[in-house]
Structure 1
Amino acid sequence: MTLEIVSPEAKLFSGQVTSVTVPGVDGEFQMLNHHAAIVSILTKGDVKIEAVNFAATKEGEAKFFVGNDKKHHLTINSGTLEMKDNKIIILVD
């Protein structure tokens, strides 16, 4: 599935991923390939990305870190997410 993460300043990531875990208002949830369509508000926490070949954009490189779970993490204050047709778009603040 395709993931795109965009902040007000720049696109932080765009690429193929195997899973994405996000901090939802009612708790953390994960999306895998062919997840049902969803729109959600995100709260403060980490977006966790699992990808075979992870490559953040030049603008996003310094914002990601690898956690103990071996996933790439992006700490956010808030955001919105839309997943439809195997494409996830996350707008972060």
Structure 2
Amino acid sequence: MQLDMAADELKSVLNRLRRAQGQIAGVIRMIEEGRDCEDVVTQLAAASRALDRAGFSIIATGLEQCLAEEGRTAADKDRMRARLEKLFLSLA
């Protein structure tokens, strides 16, 4: 399954991933500086949420494309749905 995202969806996912990348860099810095545990965990949770939201957005796009494609058999759609469900649950 190849992901074909619209420009606005792609931009949104990339922004989330870049935000998570910055947050993870911040967590590393905070740990190296010996910052308060609560602050570190709060920042780590924010990075985790950003990654989850990017993943959910990608899966939602894939599901939407899968269901919209014509010419697929019911069995093909069921297999694709099962694969996407497995991906979704891996993030949950």
The TM-score normalised by the length of structure 2 is: 0.22
Structure richer in helix, relative to its length: 2
Q: Which structure has the larger Rg over C-alpha atoms?
A: 2
Structure richer in strand, relative to its length: 1
